[in-house]
Amino acid sequence: MQNGFLLREKRWAYIQYGEHGERGRELFDLDADPKQYVNLAGLKEHAATVAEFEKKMTAKLKAVRTNDL
């Protein structure tokens, strides 16, 4: 899928499709699901984690696009 953006941390992998996730999101717990079979993004108990990754993704995209290299 085009326009997918990934952030990976030790425990989590977060993917959003579209600039603001308008085409979907995926969240995987790499400790419990290392092969990334179960998307946790839509579960209420992971809403805070998704929200935190949304903030991190916004900041990362801004930083990449304003880098003057």
Instruction: Name the residue range of residue 55's domain.
Output: 4-66
pLDDT at 1 > cutoff 70: no
CATH of the domain at 35: 3.30.1120
Of 29, 35, 32, 37, residue with least CA distance to 13: 29
DSSP-assigned letter for residue 57:
H
Q: What is the pLDDT of residue 2?
A: 64
CA–CA separation, 16 and 59 (whole Å) = 14
Mean pLDDT estimate for the chain: 92
- Please give the tally of structural domains in the chain: 1
